[in-house]
Chain A
Amino acid sequence: GENVEQHPSTLSVQEGDSAVIKCTYSDSASNYFPWYKQELGKGPQLIIDIRSNVGEKKDQRIAVTLNKTAKHFSLHITETQPEDSAVYFCAAKGGSGGSNYKLTFGKGTLLTVNP
Protein backbone atom coordinates (compact mmCIF):
# COMPACT_ATOMS: atom_id res chain seq x y z
CA GLY A 1 0.00 0.00 0.00
CA GLU A 2 0.84 3.68 -0.01
CA ASN A 3 3.46 5.05 2.40
CA VAL A 4 3.83 8.76 3.13
CA GLU A 5 6.92 10.16 4.85
CA GLN A 6 6.78 13.65 6.36
CA HIS A 7 9.62 15.90 7.55
CA PRO A 8 10.44 17.57 9.82
CA SER A 9 8.50 16.22 12.80
CA THR A 10 8.88 19.57 14.60
CA LEU A 11 9.56 23.03 13.22
CA SER A 12 10.04 26.26 15.13
CA VAL A 13 10.14 29.60 13.33
CA GLN A 14 10.01 33.27 14.20
CA GLU A 15 6.91 35.22 13.35
CA GLY A 16 7.18 36.55 9.81
CA ASP A 17 9.55 33.84 8.62
CA SER A 18 8.62 31.12 6.14
CA ALA A 19 7.97 27.48 6.99
CA VAL A 20 8.39 24.51 4.67
CA ILE A 21 7.15 20.97 5.32
CA LYS A 22 8.04 18.15 2.94
CA CYS A 23 6.38 14.83 2.16
CA THR A 24 7.26 11.91 -0.07
CA TYR A 25 4.92 9.16 -1.22
CA SER A 26 5.59 5.70 -2.55
CA ASP A 27 2.69 4.88 -4.90
CA SER A 28 3.05 6.61 -8.26
CA ALA A 29 -0.69 6.06 -8.88
CA SER A 30 -1.63 8.47 -6.06
CA ASN A 31 -3.24 11.56 -7.58
CA TYR A 32 -4.64 13.71 -4.76
CA PHE A 33 -2.57 15.37 -2.04
CA PRO A 34 -4.34 17.36 0.70
CA TRP A 35 -2.78 19.17 3.64
CA TYR A 36 -4.56 19.34 6.98
CA LYS A 37 -4.01 21.63 9.96
CA GLN A 38 -4.96 20.32 13.38
CA GLU A 39 -5.12 22.70 16.32
CA LEU A 40 -5.17 21.44 19.88
CA GLY A 41 -8.52 19.92 20.79
CA LYS A 42 -9.88 20.14 17.24
CA GLY A 43 -10.30 17.89 14.23
CA PRO A 44 -8.07 18.25 11.16
CA GLN A 45 -9.05 21.05 8.78
CA LEU A 46 -8.15 21.05 5.09
CA ILE A 47 -5.99 24.07 4.28
CA ILE A 48 -4.96 23.32 0.70
CA ASP A 49 -4.88 20.41 -1.71
CA ILE A 50 -3.33 19.62 -5.08
CA ARG A 51 -4.11 17.14 -7.81
CA SER A 52 -1.53 15.30 -9.83
CA ASN A 53 -2.19 17.28 -13.02
CA VAL A 54 -0.99 20.49 -11.32
CA GLY A 55 2.54 21.38 -10.21
CA GLU A 56 1.79 24.23 -7.85
CA LYS A 57 -1.16 25.83 -6.11
CA LYS A 58 -1.29 28.96 -4.01
CA ASP A 59 -3.85 30.40 -1.60
CA GLN A 60 -2.75 33.66 0.02
CA ARG A 61 0.16 32.81 2.35
CA ILE A 62 -0.02 29.07 1.69
CA ALA A 63 1.33 27.21 -1.32
CA VAL A 64 1.83 23.58 -2.23
CA THR A 65 4.20 22.19 -4.84
CA LEU A 66 4.13 18.71 -6.35
CA ASN A 67 6.92 16.86 -8.14
CA LYS A 68 5.38 13.71 -9.59
CA THR A 69 8.66 12.40 -10.96
CA ALA A 70 10.34 12.54 -7.57
CA LYS A 71 7.09 11.66 -5.77
CA HIS A 72 7.28 14.49 -3.30
CA PHE A 73 5.15 17.46 -2.38
CA SER A 74 5.74 20.38 -0.05
CA LEU A 75 3.76 22.93 1.95
CA HIS A 76 5.06 26.49 2.07
CA ILE A 77 3.72 29.03 4.55
CA THR A 78 5.00 32.59 4.18
CA GLU A 79 4.83 35.45 6.69
CA THR A 80 4.02 33.03 9.51
CA GLN A 81 1.82 34.19 12.37
CA PRO A 82 1.39 32.73 15.88
CA GLU A 83 -2.05 31.42 14.86
CA ASP A 84 -0.32 29.19 12.29
CA SER A 85 1.01 27.14 15.23
CA ALA A 86 -0.53 23.66 14.95
CA VAL A 87 0.16 20.12 13.75
CA TYR A 88 0.18 19.81 9.96
CA PHE A 89 -0.50 16.51 8.19
CA CYS A 90 0.13 15.75 4.55
CA ALA A 91 -1.82 12.94 2.89
CA ALA A 92 -2.05 11.05 -0.38
CA LYS A 93 -5.02 9.35 -2.04
CA GLY A 94 -5.84 7.44 -5.18
CA GLY A 95 -3.13 4.86 -5.19
CA SER A 96 -3.26 1.40 -6.70
CA GLY A 97 -3.85 -1.95 -5.05
CA GLY A 98 -7.43 -1.29 -4.04
CA SER A 99 -6.54 1.56 -1.68
CA ASN A 100 -7.77 4.43 -3.85
CA TYR A 101 -10.57 5.22 -1.38
CA LYS A 102 -8.17 5.91 1.44
CA LEU A 103 -6.25 8.94 2.67
CA THR A 104 -2.77 7.87 3.77
CA PHE A 105 -1.40 10.43 6.22
CA GLY A 106 2.13 11.44 7.04
CA LYS A 107 3.13 11.40 10.70
CA GLY A 108 2.61 15.12 11.15
CA THR A 109 4.72 18.23 11.78
CA LEU A 110 4.33 20.32 14.92
CA LEU A 111 4.83 23.91 13.79
CA THR A 112 5.50 26.53 16.44
CA VAL A 113 5.57 30.19 15.44
CA ASN A 114 7.29 32.31 18.07
CA PRO A 115 6.12 35.92 18.45
Chain B
Amino acid sequence: DTEVTQTPKHLVMGMTNKKSLKCEQHMGHRAMYWYKQKAKKPPELMFVYSYEKLSINESVPSRFSPECPNSSLLNLHLHALQPEDSALYLCASSLSSSGHNEQFFGPGTRLTVL
Protein backbone atom coordinates (compact mmCIF):
# COMPACT_ATOMS: atom_id res chain seq x y z
CA ASP B 1 0.00 0.00 0.00
CA THR B 2 1.76 3.16 -1.23
CA GLU B 3 -1.11 5.52 -0.67
CA VAL B 4 -1.86 8.47 1.55
CA THR B 5 -5.58 8.95 2.04
CA GLN B 6 -7.33 12.12 3.15
CA THR B 7 -10.88 12.82 4.27
CA PRO B 8 -13.03 14.63 3.55
CA LYS B 9 -12.37 15.43 -0.10
CA HIS B 10 -14.24 18.72 0.17
CA LEU B 11 -15.21 20.79 3.21
CA VAL B 12 -17.22 24.00 3.51
CA MET B 13 -17.26 25.68 6.90
CA GLY B 14 -18.26 28.94 8.50
CA MET B 15 -15.85 31.10 10.44
CA THR B 16 -17.30 29.96 13.77
CA ASN B 17 -17.25 26.22 13.00
CA LYS B 18 -14.86 23.60 14.31
CA LYS B 19 -13.89 20.86 11.90
CA SER B 20 -11.10 18.34 11.42
CA LEU B 21 -9.16 17.02 8.45
CA LYS B 22 -7.88 13.46 8.55
CA CYS B 23 -4.92 11.76 6.92
CA GLU B 24 -3.85 8.12 6.99
CA GLN B 25 -0.93 6.10 5.66
CA HIS B 26 0.05 2.46 6.12
CA MET B 27 3.52 2.55 4.61
CA GLY B 28 5.31 2.51 7.95
CA HIS B 29 6.44 6.10 7.44
CA ARG B 30 7.53 7.92 10.59
CA ALA B 31 7.32 11.46 9.22
CA MET B 32 4.04 13.13 8.32
CA TYR B 33 3.38 16.61 7.01
CA TRP B 34 0.62 19.15 6.49
CA TYR B 35 0.86 21.53 3.55
CA LYS B 36 -1.42 24.35 2.38
CA GLN B 37 -1.75 24.99 -1.35
CA LYS B 38 -3.45 28.04 -2.84
CA ALA B 39 -4.57 28.02 -6.46
CA LYS B 40 -1.71 28.16 -8.98
CA LYS B 41 0.89 28.16 -6.18
CA PRO B 42 3.26 25.50 -4.85
CA PRO B 43 2.52 23.68 -1.59
CA GLU B 44 3.56 25.55 1.57
CA LEU B 45 4.74 23.53 4.54
CA MET B 46 2.72 23.98 7.72
CA PHE B 47 3.72 21.22 10.16
CA VAL B 48 6.10 18.27 10.38
CA TYR B 49 5.60 15.29 12.68
CA SER B 50 8.50 12.96 13.30
CA TYR B 51 7.87 9.74 15.26
CA GLU B 52 4.47 11.12 16.32
CA LYS B 53 5.96 14.26 17.82
CA LEU B 54 5.56 17.74 16.37
CA SER B 55 9.01 18.72 15.18
CA ILE B 56 8.32 21.71 12.97
CA ASN B 57 5.65 24.43 13.08
CA GLU B 58 6.19 26.91 10.26
CA SER B 59 4.71 29.80 12.26
CA VAL B 60 1.17 28.64 11.54
CA PRO B 61 -1.67 30.54 13.31
CA SER B 62 -3.13 28.75 16.33
CA ARG B 63 -6.51 28.37 14.62
CA PHE B 64 -4.82 25.36 12.95
CA SER B 65 -4.05 22.62 15.47
CA PRO B 66 -2.33 19.40 14.34
CA GLU B 67 -2.54 16.08 16.11
CA CYS B 68 -0.83 12.74 15.52
CA PRO B 69 -2.75 10.03 17.46
CA ASN B 70 -0.52 7.23 16.18
CA SER B 71 2.10 6.52 13.53
CA SER B 72 -0.51 6.03 10.79
CA LEU B 73 -2.86 8.95 11.46
CA LEU B 74 -2.56 12.69 11.25
CA ASN B 75 -5.32 15.18 11.98
CA LEU B 76 -5.63 18.91 11.45
CA HIS B 77 -8.17 20.59 13.71
CA LEU B 78 -9.66 23.82 12.41
CA HIS B 79 -11.32 26.52 14.49
CA ALA B 80 -12.30 30.14 13.82
CA LEU B 81 -10.85 30.12 10.33
CA GLN B 82 -10.84 33.10 7.99
CA PRO B 83 -11.95 33.19 4.33
CA GLU B 84 -8.28 33.53 3.31
CA ASP B 85 -7.67 30.08 4.80
CA SER B 86 -9.62 28.59 1.90
CA ALA B 87 -7.16 26.33 0.06
CA LEU B 88 -6.22 22.75 -0.75
CA TYR B 89 -4.77 21.07 2.35
CA LEU B 90 -2.33 18.32 1.52
CA CYS B 91 -1.01 15.62 3.79
CA ALA B 92 2.26 13.85 2.98
CA SER B 93 4.42 11.17 4.54
CA SER B 94 7.97 9.90 4.21
CA LEU B 95 10.20 7.30 5.84
CA SER B 96 11.79 10.02 7.92
CA SER B 97 11.93 13.81 7.84
CA SER B 98 15.68 13.94 7.22
CA GLY B 99 17.68 12.73 4.27
CA HIS B 100 16.55 12.03 0.74
CA ASN B 101 13.27 10.29 1.46
CA GLU B 102 10.47 10.62 -1.04
CA GLN B 103 7.42 12.44 0.24
CA PHE B 104 4.16 10.77 -0.78
CA PHE B 105 1.27 13.20 -1.04
CA GLY B 106 -2.41 12.54 -0.52
CA PRO B 107 -5.10 13.93 -2.86
CA GLY B 108 -5.88 16.79 -0.49
CA THR B 109 -8.96 18.30 1.13
CA ARG B 110 -10.44 21.29 -0.68
CA LEU B 111 -11.46 23.68 2.11
CA THR B 112 -13.79 26.64 1.63
CA VAL B 113 -14.32 29.05 4.53
CA LEU B 114 -17.40 31.23 4.21
Q: How far is the CA of A108 from the CA of B38 in the complex (A)?
A: 12
**Those of B22-80 within 8 Å (CB) of chain A:** 40-43, 45, 48, 55-56
Pairwise interchain contact A46-B43, C-beta atoms closer than 8 A: no
Pairwise interchain contact A102-B42, C-beta atoms closer than 8 A: no
Residue of B nearest to A45 (CB): B105
- Asked if B7 is an interface residue, CB under 8 A from chain A, the answer is no
Interface of A is mostly: loop
How distant is B112 from chain A, measured CB to nearest CB, in Å? Answer: 15
- 1/0 contact trace for B2-17 toward A, CB 8 Å? 0010000000000000
Q: B55 — which chain A residues lie within 8 A by C-beta?
A: 101
Pairwise interchain contact A101-B48, C-beta atoms closer than 8 A: yes
- Asked if B97 is an interface residue, CB under 8 A from chain A, the answer is yes
The one of B4, B48, B107 that contacts A41, using a Cβ cutoff of 8 Å: B107
Q: A95 — which chain B residues lie within 8 A by C-beta?
A: none
The one of A41, A43, A108 that contacts B42, using a Cβ cutoff of 8 Å: A108
The one of A46, A51, A106 that contacts B103, using a Cβ cutoff of 8 Å: A46
Interface residues of B (CB under 8 A from A): 4, 40-43, 45, 48, 55-56, 90, 92, 97-100, 102-108
